[in-house]
Structure 1
C-alpha cells in the first residue's frame, strides 16, 4: 500500500514538473498586400503531427509544447509558403506575426486538411485564384456543375440548374453575399428568387459553397446546396476599368481605396466602388439595358479582439427583353432566331443594402459573431409566355410587381476545448429574418402600360426564426465527425387587398433538420467523407395560408459519399456519389397566381471535379456531373422531371501570369433533357466555348474576352409551353426558348493607381 502511495506521489511530481516546462505559440497571419488578417491559412507544426487553420481574425494557437525550437510551415492557396523557426520558452507564450505575399499558385502546395475537414474549400479557393470573375454571370459559374440561363435579357435573375434540379431562380439553392441573404421568399415572380446583379464582379474575393443539405448553420433553400460570395475586405490597389464590345455594349467601373497604406498597417481599410453598364444586346428588339451599382465597405477594429465589416450598396437596373419564343414562329419565318413576339416585355428593379458584421475572438479562442442586415427592394417585370392563349385580342402579358423591406440577424458563439486527444468545436447559432412586402401584384396588362385585370394583390409579412447546435469533433489527426441540428419556425401573414373587406390570412409551421458528417484523412493526399442531412425550402406565403400551414416545408433528405485525392503533387480530384429525396409539396405558380401540387421526387448522381497543373503557369480543369432525376409514384415513362439536367460538364485551360500574358479557354456542355413528364418534348443540349486573354503590366491590364468563339447557334433556356400566336385557332405545346449569345467580343482596359 505504501509502495502504491509513493509511486503515485512520484508520478504527480513528474507530471507537475513536465507541465511546468510547457509553453505555447500564439500567431496571427496577414495578407501583406492589404495588411488584413488571412482566414483559412494552414499552419503545420513540423515533426509533431499538429496542424490547424487560422480563424476569422487570422489567428492560430498551439499549446502544451515542450521547451524547444519548432518549425512552423504556413501555407495558403495563392500565397508564398513561409517556414519559420519559433522558440518555445518555459511557462511563456511566444507571439508570432506573419505577413504572406501573393505568389503563383502551385497545386503541389495544396494540402488535404484534417484540422477543419468540414470547412475546407479546396476547389473553390483554387478556382477563384485562377479564374478571376469578369462578369456577373461568371459569379455563379464558379460552382462546379452549376449552369445558368438568362431568359430576360440580363436584367432578370438567372435560371439555375444544379444536381438534377431546374432551380428556377433559386428555389433549392441558398445564395448569400457576405452572409446576407440573396433569395427572396414569397417573391412576385417565384419562390427563392435570387438576383445577384447587385454584386460588382471585380469585388468578389472568394466563393464558398457546398452541395447538399449538410450544414447546420445553413437554413432555408439549402437542398441542392449553398453558395456564399465574399467581397473584398480591402483593395490591393485602386482601379479604373473601361469595357466596350459588340451590340452597343459598354461598361465603366471604378474602385478607390479611401484610407491609404498608413491605416492599413493599423488593420483598417475602406473603399468605394461603382459600375455602370449599357447594352442593346444581340436581340432584334434593342434591349436598352442599363445598370448602376454603388458599393462601399469599411473594415476595422472596435477593440483588440473584435473586428467589424460594414458594407452599404445600392443597385438599379432597367431593360427591355425579347422573351421566350416558340420554335414554330422561327421555323415558319414569322420572326428571326433573335426575334420576339411581344417586344414590350421588360422590367425594372432596385436593391439597397446595409450589412454590419462583428467578429470577436476571446483570449480563450471563443468566437462570437453578430451580423445585422437590411435591404430595401423593388421589382417590376412584364412577361408574355403564352401570347394570345387566354386573351385573343389583347394578349396574355402579365405584370409582377412588389416593394419589399427585408431585415434580419445572424449570430453564433463557438467554443473550442479538448478532452484528452479529442478536439471539440461547439457552435450555437440564432437566425432571424423578416420580409415585409407592399402591394405584391400579379396583373394582366397590355403593352406594358395598360392594366386590364388584377389577379393577385396583397401584402406579405413573413418571419423565419432559426436556431442550431453544431459539434465538430476531431477524434484524432485523421478522423473527425460533425453533428448538428437546427429548428426553423415560420410565421406567415397575407393581407388580400382584392377582398372587400380586406382579409388577413395566417399560418405557422416549423421544421427540424438534423445533420451528420464523417471525415477520414489518411494523409495530406487522401480524404474520404460521408455527408448526411435533412434540408428544406419554404413555400410562398400565398401557398402557406391557402394550405393552412400544411405541407408547406417540404423535407429534403440527402447523402454524399466522396473522396478528395491528390495522387500526384499537381493533380487534385474531388469525386462524390450522392442521393437526394424530396417530399411532396404545394407550389405557388407566380405566373398564374394558382397553387399546384408537386409530388415526391428523387435525384441520384455522380460529381467529378479535376484540377491539374500542366506547367508552372498552365492549369487544366474539368467538372463532370451525371444525374438521374425522377418523380416518385408515377407510371413508367411518365416520371421525368421537366428540364432537369442529366449530363453536364464544363472545364478549360487557364494561363496564370502575374505580369505579362494570362487568360483562359473554357467550354460548357449540357446534354439533351426532357422538357415534359413523358419526354415527348426534348430540350436540346448545347456546347459553347468562351475565351479570355489579358496582358498585364504594373499600372494597367489590357483584356479581350470572347463569348461563343465558334459562333454556335444555341438555345440558352427552353420550356415546354402551350401558347397561341395571333391568328391560330388552337393553342400548341412545344419548345419555347431564349437564344444564347452569338459570337461576341469585348475589349477592356484596367488602370491601377
Structure 2
C-alpha cells in the first residue's frame, strides 16, 4: 500500500509539473522535439505545458482536472483558463460573450479563433459582429482539454487567430456516468446528465443540459436553454474516429448596458432597463466527423462538419436618438449554414542525419446566409428593413510546416500559409450586390533554444490576417444612401514574440513572453448600423508572466500577469488611443483537491481601466472579481459543492462604452455618456452531483 501511494504521489507531481508529453501523445502533429518523441510519457494533470512541449512561451494546454475544479458563472468563461484572457458579458446569457486579450477588446471574438472538435465557433459576416463566437452551446462537464496559442506564429491557425486561438476538445468517453442539479439565487436552475457506454466495438457518449435563469435584473432575463451531445467513437485519439451530433437552443430577455445618467438620476436602478422588450433567441445544430490514422511515422487527420445556426437579436442602445417617437430598437437576424473540412498529413523523416517533422494541410469552409438582415422594430415586431443580404462566402487555406532539430538544444520551425477568399453578396440596397476576391500569404518562423537547466527560450515571428464582413467588400452605398467605398476583404497582421519557460525551481513552472502585434487596418462592419466603419492601422505590444506552482500534490497555485500598450499608428487630432483596449490583467488562483472529503478553489481576476474614446479623456474603471468553491464528498458517488460568485460583492462593470444616447425630454442630439453593464452581485449556487 505504501509503495502504491508513493507511485501515485509521484505521478501526480509529474502531471502537475507538466513533465509528461500528453500533448505529443494525443496530437503528434503538434508535438515538439522530434528527438524526444521516443521518450513520450502519458500522464494526466492540470497543465501540459512542460519544457519541451511547446513552440512558444505563450502556448499551452489546460486539462479537465483543472476545468472541473474551478467555478464558472457562464460557459464562455472556460476561455479564461487561457492566461491573460478576460470574458465578460454586456447583454443576456444567450448572446456571445465579450472577450479581452493582449490589448484587444475583441468584441465577440474578432482576432481570437475558437474551435470545438475541429469546428469553427467564429461566425464571419455575422448579423451582430465579425467573428461572433457564441460558446453557450458547450456543456463544460464534457470538455476534455483546451489547447491554446497566442500570436500569428502557427501555420495551422488562419482567420481570426492573430491575437490567439483556443481549440476545445470534448471527451470520447467518461470515466463514469454523472448527473447533477444546481440551484441558485434569482431563479437559477441547471440540470446535467451525461454517460458513455460500450456500443459494438466503440463508445457512445450522451450529454444533456437544461438551464433556467432570471438573473438579478429588474426585467427577468428568463433564460431558457437546452443543449445536447451525442457522440459515437472508436479507437484512440491517435488512431480512431468519432461522429458527433450537437444541438442547442436558447431564448432570453436582454440586459444590455445602460446610461450612467439614468442610474444616477434614479430613473432606473443599477440592474434596471430602459428597453424591457430587448432580447433574442438562437439555435445551433451540428454534425461532425473526426478521424485520426497513425502509422509508424505518419499521422493523417481529418475533420468534416456541417453547422446550422439561427439568431434573432433585438437591441436598443440609443433609445430615442434616431426615432424620437417609436424608439431605436432594431433586430439583427440571420439563418446560416456552414460546411467545412480540415485535412492534414504529418510525417517524420531525416535529412543529412537531422530529424525532421513535416506537415501539410488544407482547410476549406463555406458559409451560406439566407438571409442576414437588419430591421427596425418596436417590441420585437419588424417595422422596416434597413438592409437584407444573401451572402455566399467561401475560403480555402493551404499550409505547410517543417520542424528541424538542428542540435539537441536547437529546434527550428518554419511554416507558410496561403488563404484565398471569395465573397458573393445579393443586397436589398441597390449598388451593394456583387462579388469580391482576395488572398493572403502568411509566413511563420519559430526558433526554440534549450533546454538548459530546465529552461528554454523562444523566438517567434509570423504574419496572419482577419477577414472583414463580406457585405463591406461589395458595399458602394450606406443604408441612408450615402456613397461608400468597399473595404479590403482581408486585413493582414504581423506579430513577433520573445519568450522563456523554466522549471528550474522545483514545483514551479514559469513562462515569460514579450510580444508585439501590428494590424494594417481595424476595419469593422458595424452590424448595429448596417455599415462598415473604417479605422486606422494599430500596434500593440506587451509582456505576460504566467506561473503554476505545485506546493503539494493536492495544492496548486496560479498567478498570471499581463500588461500591454495599444495605439493607432497613424496620428489623428481625435487621439491615438484605441477605445476599449485593455492594458492590465491579473489572475490568481488556488486549487485544493482531496483533503479527506473536502476540496475547494479560489479565483481572483483583475482587468484594468480602458480608454473609452481616442483621446483617453474618458476611461472605464478597473474591475476585480473573486469566485470561490467549497466541495464535500458525501460518499463514493455523491458530492455537494457551493460556488460563490463576486465573493466580495464588488460594484463594478463587465463592460463600459462611451457614446451618445437620448432619453425622453433630452435634446435632439442626445447626450454623450458612459454606458455600462454591471457585474452581477454576489450570488451562490449549490450543486449536488451523483456518479453512476
TM-score (norm 1): 0.84
Once residues 130 and 431 of structure 1 are traced to their aligned partners in structure 2, the CA distance between those partners, rounded to angstroms, is 32
Report the counterpart of residue 555 of structure 2 in structure 1: 618
Report the counterpart of residue 529 of structure 1 in structure 2: 458
- Residue 608 (structure 2) pairs with residue 671 (structure 1): yes
In structure 2, do the counterparts of structure 1 residues 661 and 63 end up closer, same or farther at CA, with 3 Å as the change threshold? closer
In structure 2, do the counterparts of structure 1 residues 433 and 658 end up closer, same or farther at CA, with 3 Å as the change threshold? farther
Once residues 64 and 235 of structure 2 are traced to their aligned partners in structure 1, the CA distance between those partners, rounded to angstroms, is 29
Once residues 664 and 18 of structure 2 are traced to their aligned partners in structure 1, the CA distance between those partners, rounded to angstroms, is 62
Deviation at 1:227, TM superposition (A): 0.6
Deviation at 1:728, TM superposition (A): 0.8
In structure 2, do the counterparts of structure 1 residues 479 and 695 end up closer, same or farther at CA, with 3 Å as the change threshold? same
Report the counterpart of residue 392 of structure 1 in structure 2: 324
1:367-446 → structure 2 map (5 Å cutoff): 367-446=299-378
Q: Is the 8 A contact 2:56 2:459 kept in 1?
A: no
Report the counterpart of residue 137 of structure 1 in structure 2: 76
Q: Is the 8 A contact 2:71 2:629 kept in 1?
A: no
1:114-513 → structure 2 map (5 Å cutoff): 117=55, 122=60, 124-125=62-63, 128=66, 131-132=69-70, 134=72, 135-259=74-198, 268-301=202-235, 306-362=239-295, 364-449=296-381, 451-499=382-430, 504-513=433-442
Deviation at 1:316, TM superposition (A): 0.2
Q: Is the 8 A contact 2:61 2:146 kept in 1?
A: no
Q: Is the 8 A contact 1:471 1:482 kept in 2?
A: yes
Cα-to-partner distance string for 1:680-715 (whole Å, 9 max, x where unaligned): 211111111110111234202111000011111111
Once residues 229 and 707 of structure 1 are traced to their aligned partners in structure 2, the CA distance between those partners, rounded to angstroms, is 24
Report the counterpart of residue 497 of structure 2 in structure 1: 560
- Residue 561 (structure 2) pairs with residue 627 (structure 1): no
The equivalent position to 1:716 in structure 2, one of 621, 635, 654, is: 654
In structure 2, do the counterparts of structure 1 residues 420 and 55 end up closer, same or farther at CA, with 3 Å as the change threshold? farther
In structure 2, do the counterparts of structure 1 residues 405 and 190 end up closer, same or farther at CA, with 3 Å as the change threshold? same
Deviation at 1:131, TM superposition (A): 4.0
In structure 2, do the counterparts of structure 1 residues 550 and 349 end up closer, same or farther at CA, with 3 Å as the change threshold? closer
- Residue 447 (structure 2) pairs with residue 518 (structure 1): yes
The equivalent position to 1:76 in structure 2, one of 32, 43, 46, is: 43
Q: Is the 8 A contact 1:42 1:54 kept in 2?
A: no
Q: Is the 8 A contact 1:41 1:54 kept in 2?
A: no
The equivalent position to 1:737 in structure 2, one of 669, 676, 679, is: 676
- Name the SS for the 2:122 alignment partner: coil
In structure 2, do the counterparts of structure 1 residues 75 and 322 end up closer, same or farther at CA, with 3 Å as the change threshold? closer
Once residues 672 and 530 of structure 2 are traced to their aligned partners in structure 1, the CA distance between those partners, rounded to angstroms, is 21
- Residue 688 (structure 2) pairs with residue 752 (structure 1): no
Once residues 23 and 128 of structure 2 are traced to their aligned partners in structure 1, the CA distance between those partners, rounded to angstroms, is 45
Cα-to-partner distance string for 1:461-508 (whole Å, 9 max, x where unaligned): 000111011111112322111110111110000111354xx9741111
In structure 2, do the counterparts of structure 1 residues 578 and 702 end up closer, same or farther at CA, with 3 Å as the change threshold? same
Deviation at 1:515, TM superposition (A): 0.3
Once residues 726 and 273 of structure 1 are traced to their aligned partners in structure 2, the CA distance between those partners, rounded to angstroms, is 48
Once residues 126 and 656 of structure 2 are traced to their aligned partners in structure 1, the CA distance between those partners, rounded to angstroms, is 22
Deviation at 1:546, TM superposition (A): 2.3
- Name the SS for the 1:682 alignment partner: coil
Cα-to-partner distance string for 1:365-418 (whole Å, 9 max, x where unaligned): 211111110100000000001110010111100100000000000001111102
Deviation at 1:166, TM superposition (A): 0.6
Once residues 123 and 742 of structure 1 are traced to their aligned partners in structure 2, the CA distance between those partners, rounded to angstroms, is 32
Structure 2 residue runs of 5 or longer lacking an equivalent are 1-14, 477-484
The equivalent position to 2:576 in structure 1, one of 639, 643, 657, is: 639
Report the counterpart of residue 93 of structure 1 in structure 2: none
In structure 2, do the counterparts of structure 1 residues 440 and 301 end up closer, same or farther at CA, with 3 Å as the change threshold? same
Cα-to-partner distance string for 1:718-752 (whole Å, 9 max, x where unaligned): 11121000111241111101111101000001100
Once residues 112 and 255 of structure 1 are traced to their aligned partners in structure 2, the CA distance between those partners, rounded to angstroms, is 35
Q: Is the 8 A contact 1:357 1:371 kept in 2?
A: yes
Report the counterpart of residue 515 of structure 2 in structure 1: 578
The number of aligned residues is: 665
In structure 2, do the counterparts of structure 1 residues 659 and 410 end up closer, same or farther at CA, with 3 Å as the change threshold? farther
- Residue 45 (structure 2) pairs with residue 54 (structure 1): no
Structure 1 residue runs of 5 or longer lacking an equivalent are 1-37, 45-50, 66-70, 79-104
- Name the SS for the 2:552 alignment partner: coil
In structure 2, do the counterparts of structure 1 residues 285 and 237 end up closer, same or farther at CA, with 3 Å as the change threshold? same
- Name the SS for the 1:567 alignment partner: coil
The equivalent position to 1:707 in structure 2, one of 612, 620, 645, is: 645
Once residues 75 and 305 of structure 1 are traced to their aligned partners in structure 2, the CA distance between those partners, rounded to angstroms, is 13
Once residues 189 and 372 of structure 2 are traced to their aligned partners in structure 1, the CA distance between those partners, rounded to angstroms, is 33
In structure 2, do the counterparts of structure 1 residues 458 and 319 end up closer, same or farther at CA, with 3 Å as the change threshold? same
Deviation at 1:76, TM superposition (A): 2.3
The equivalent position to 1:594 in structure 2, one of 531, 534, 539, is: 531
Cα-to-partner distance string for 1:129-166 (whole Å, 9 max, x where unaligned): 68456551331111111111111121100011100001
Report the counterpart of residue 481 of structure 2 in structure 1: none
Over alpha carbons, which structure has the higher Rg?
1
- Name the SS for the 2:514 alignment partner: strand
Deviation at 1:670, TM superposition (A): 1.4
In structure 2, do the counterparts of structure 1 residues 194 and 666 end up closer, same or farther at CA, with 3 Å as the change threshold? same
Where relative contact order (Cα < 8 A, 6+ residues apart) is larger, the structure is 2
Once residues 19 and 560 of structure 2 are traced to their aligned partners in structure 1, the CA distance between those partners, rounded to angstroms, is 26
Q: Is the 8 A contact 2:67 2:78 kept in 1?
A: no
Once residues 40 and 331 of structure 2 are traced to their aligned partners in structure 1, the CA distance between those partners, rounded to angstroms, is 59
Deviation at 1:586, TM superposition (A): 3.3
1:534-545 → structure 2 map (5 Å cutoff): 534-545=463-474
Report the counterpart of residue 34 of structure 1 in structure 2: none
In structure 2, do the counterparts of structure 1 residues 601 and 333 end up closer, same or farther at CA, with 3 Å as the change threshold? same
Q: Is the 8 A contact 1:127 1:142 kept in 2?
A: no
Q: Is the 8 A contact 1:208 1:229 kept in 2?
A: yes
The equivalent position to 1:609 in structure 2, one of 531, 534, 546, is: 546
Q: Which moved more, 1:594-603 or 1:400-409?
A: 594-603
In structure 2, do the counterparts of structure 1 residues 43 and 601 end up closer, same or farther at CA, with 3 Å as the change threshold? closer
Deviation at 1:616, TM superposition (A): 3.2
The equivalent position to 1:551 in structure 2, one of 472, 479, 488, is: 488
Deviation at 1:123, TM superposition (A): 5.7
- Name the SS for the 1:645 alignment partner: coil
Deviation at 1:42, TM superposition (A): 7.1
In structure 2, do the counterparts of structure 1 residues 646 and 585 end up closer, same or farther at CA, with 3 Å as the change threshold? closer
- Name the SS for the 2:217 alignment partner: coil
Report the counterpart of residue 694 of structure 1 in structure 2: 631
